[in-house]
């Protein structure tokens, strides 16, 4: 795969330039997450923080306004992906069964309407569209 040197602005990686893997279109991922391991002596894979960076164009061409390059900007209020939220440790406990940052309850039992095992209409997307699952969000 191809990697592009991408600069980071703000946060702990301010001023750093790191190689980031790009997709088939040559564009880096929209969100870059930097996990920080917990320093509590345990080797359980827990994280003390996850820094979230969002992609933005570093510059544009004059006429067509095409992006000249990419950079990641630190988002202090950014919410990490689900995989990192499960391992994130706040105050010494894991959030896997507690409350989320928005104040709601995090449930791991699959009771949301978009669950693939939802017997609602047979296609699993929970909206009754009957599209065969094509409009399902990627996981």
Tell me the per-residue pLDDT of 98-137, one tens digit each, with 9 for 90 and over: 444 444 444 444 444 444 444 454 555 555 555 555 555 5
Report the side by side order of strands in the sheet with 67-75.
Answer: 17-21, 3-9, 67-75, 47-60, 31-37
Contacts for 107 with CB less than 8 Å, ≥ 6 apart: none
More confident call, 35 vs 122: 35
Tell me the per-residue pLDDT of 52-91, one tens digit each, with 9 for 90 and over: 999 999 999 999 999 999 999 999 999 999 888 888 876 4
Assigned token pair, 25: 């279109």
CA proximity to 33, closest of 49, 53, 57 = 53
The model carries a pTM of 0.61
Mean pLDDT, residues 1-24 taken together: 94
């Amino acid at each position: 795969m191809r990697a592009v040197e991408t600069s980071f602005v703000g946060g702990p990686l301010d001023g750093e330039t790191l190689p980031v893997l790009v997709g088939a279109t040559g564009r880096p991922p929209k969100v870059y997450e930097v996990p920080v391991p917990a320093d509590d002596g345990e080797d359980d894979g827990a994280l003390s923080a996850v820094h979230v960076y969002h992609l933005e164009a570093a510059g544009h061409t004059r006429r067509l306004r095409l992006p000249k390059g990419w950079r990641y900007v630190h988002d202090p209020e950014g919410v990490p992906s689900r995989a990192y939220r499960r391992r994130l440790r706040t105050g010494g406990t894991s959030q896997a069964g507690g409350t989320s940052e928005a104040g709601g309850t995090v449930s791991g039992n699959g009771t949301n309407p978009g669950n693939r095992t939802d017997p609602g209409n047979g296609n699993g997307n929970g909206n009754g569209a009957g599209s065969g699952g094509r409009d399902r969000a990627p996981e």
